[in-house]
Amino acid sequence: MRKAMVLFASLFAAVAWASSGPAAEGEKEDVAAYILHHVSDSHELEIEVPLSHDHITLHLPQILVPFKDGACTPVMTDHGEVTPGLGAGCLDLSITKHTVMMWLAAVLLIGSILIWSNRDKTKLVPRGTGANLFEMLVLFVRDELAIKNIGKEEGPRYVPYLLTAFFFILFMNLLGLFPWMASATGNLAVTCGLAVCTFVVTQLAGIRAAGFGGYLAHLTGGVHPLLWPIMIPVEFLGLFTKPFALTVRLFANMLAGHIVIFFLLGLIFILQHPAVAIISVPFAFGIYLLELFVAFVQAYVFTMLSALFIGMGVAMGHHGDDHGHAHDHKEGGHAEGKAHAMGH
Amino acid sequence: MAEKEPRSSGGSDGSELGTTAREMRAAEPYISAVWKLVGGAVVGVLGGYWLDKWLGTTPWLLVALSLVGISVGFYGFLRAMTRLGKRK
């Protein structure tokens, strides 16, 4: 393994040596811009032709919906042409690189579910690495995440959502590790969208457990009606703290890993010496393996926290217990349940 | 799935909930109480600042609503802690 690593680093160093020279001079300042260009979203999908300097660029369709005439006319700024945002009355529904990655992840998700779940149905004992690995992950999400965080009675109800979130995030994370692909979870809008889904499910779980009246009552914080104008916004803002944590955690972890890999390789161009490759390439390779681990860990963490928050929503209707049983509540909730929900 | 019944994964108290879930559920009222304390001040200050800009009354509404927000937050916090104490 050590010999292989040294050989790998030497090969990279040789390639770097061969490509160093006048071309590398101008690249010193461009490393940061190059990294940002690679991790950010774009309207193009660049595919490099192997063993050449040629690129195949796929221009993705731009879909702009103006709310008023001329709202989507590009504006010239210091950074070039910029399309006005939603504030200026232009809704950008363009298909971007990250959108394509999300679609690809969705296709992989649906395909794997159809293939392996069908194999699970038709055989008493599923055979094959894929089917067994898939079953292991599904059972893990059900038993260790859903049931342990939500409860035996209510947990299975939320397993489909948790499984979808887990595999969708996992596939998006893994796609980002392939050449010419991108990690859609390194986009704040994507992680925010996922967190919104969890937020909606959490609130529905709370409404289901405490009743709609009980759910609204916990937003008053249990204070006198005269203080509601202050307390209701406080409790309403408090609802968004958990999804915010979900959003930032996934986004920052995925983005940071990619930036570190690019930066380690960029060191060769910053220091402008091919010998740097002997250090930076093995380090980048190590971080890449860590990224592979993080792809699974972040999918697990997001799903685990989603289950935890849904479980806390389910507990909203309980009588101060924590045993995970579902109780029947009349529409409108009850004082004890709603008092427990928000610390009385 | 080939396996129909979820396998038992009971906690030490016989509950099927995991330790993290039990602890988070136990901590939730305290987290909520602290959020009332902090959130009251935040909403008061931001609300006052925004109303001042809107009505052009700088800085009076900021001062007044900050005090109201801090007071309401503190009251909500004390009320929550008192109820938690009673329940224990």
Q: Which amino acid is at A343?
A: G
DSSP notation for A142-210? IIIIIIHHH-TTTHHHHHHHHHHHHHHHHHHHHHTTSTT---GGGSHHHHHHHHHHHHHHHHHHHHHHH
Q: Does A332 touch chain B (CB under 8 A)?
A: no
Q: Which residues of A touch B24 (CB under 8 A)?
A: 308, 311-312
Element (H, E) at A18: helix A2-19
Confidence tier at A138 by pLDDT (50, 70, 90) = very high
* Chain B CB within 8 Å of residue A230 CB: yes
Separation in Å, CA of A297 to nearest CA in chain B: 17
Residue showing tokens 């959502």? A161
Share of chain B above pLDDT 70, in %: 83
Task: Report yes or no: B25 and A315 within 8 Å, Cβ to Cβ.
Answer: yes
What is the mean pLDDT of the segment spanning B26-31? 89
Q: Mutating which of B8, B9, B25, B38 best tests the A interface, going by the most A Cβ atoms within 10 A?
A: B25
Which residues of chain B neighbour A343 with C-beta distances below 8 Å? Answer: 28-30, 32-33, 36, 80, 83-84
Output DSSP code: residue A94.
Answer: -
The Cα B51–Cα B64 span in angstroms is 11
Angle between helices A97-122 and A155-175 in degrees, nearest 10: 130
List chain B residues with CB under 8 Å of A233. 43, 47
The lowest-confidence range among A178-187, A313-322, B6-15 is: B6-15
Kindly determine whether residue B1 and residue A120, on different chains, have CB atoms separated by under 8 Å: yes
pLDDT, residue A10, reads 53
Distance CA A169, CA A173 (A): 6
Using one digit for the tens of pLDDT, what is the confidence trace for A73-123?
888 887 777 888 888 888 889 999 999 999 999 999 999 988 888 776 777
Question: In this complex, do A234 and B73 lie within 8 Å of one another by their Cβ atoms?
Answer: yes
Run of H or E residues at B18 = none
Q: Are strands A80-82 and A75-77 parallel, antiparallel or unpaired?
A: antiparallel
Q: What is the pLDDT of residues A152-176, one digit of tens each?
A: 999 999 999 999 999 999 999 999 9
pLDDT of residue A3: 65
Residue of chain B minimizing CA distance to A116: B1
Provide the H-helix boundaries in B1-88. Answer: 19-55, 60-87
Report pLDDT digits (tens) over A184-234. 999 999 999 999 999 999 999 999 999 999 899 888 877 888 888 888 999
Q: How far apart are CA A104 and CA A183, in angstroms?
A: 11
CA distances from A250 to A53, A145, A192 (A): 34, 18, 9
- Residue A327 above 70 pLDDT? no
Is the bond preceding residue A66 a cis peptide, omega within 30 degrees? Answer: no
Please tell me the distance in Å from B10's CA to the nearest CA on chain A: 8
Residues of B numbered 6-45 whose beta carbons fall under 8 angstroms of chain A's beta carbons: which are they? 6-7, 9, 15-18, 20-22, 24-26, 28-30, 32-33, 35-36, 39-40, 42-44
pTM above 0.85, yes or no: no
| Contact by Cβ (8 Å): A232, A220 | yes
Strands (E), chain A: 44-48, 55-59, 64-66, 75-77, 80-82, 90-92
Query: Choosing among A241, A322, A325, which should be mutated to test the B contact, i.e. which has the most B CBs within 10 A?
Result: A322
Best CA proximity match to A264, nearest among A296, A233, A287, A240: A287
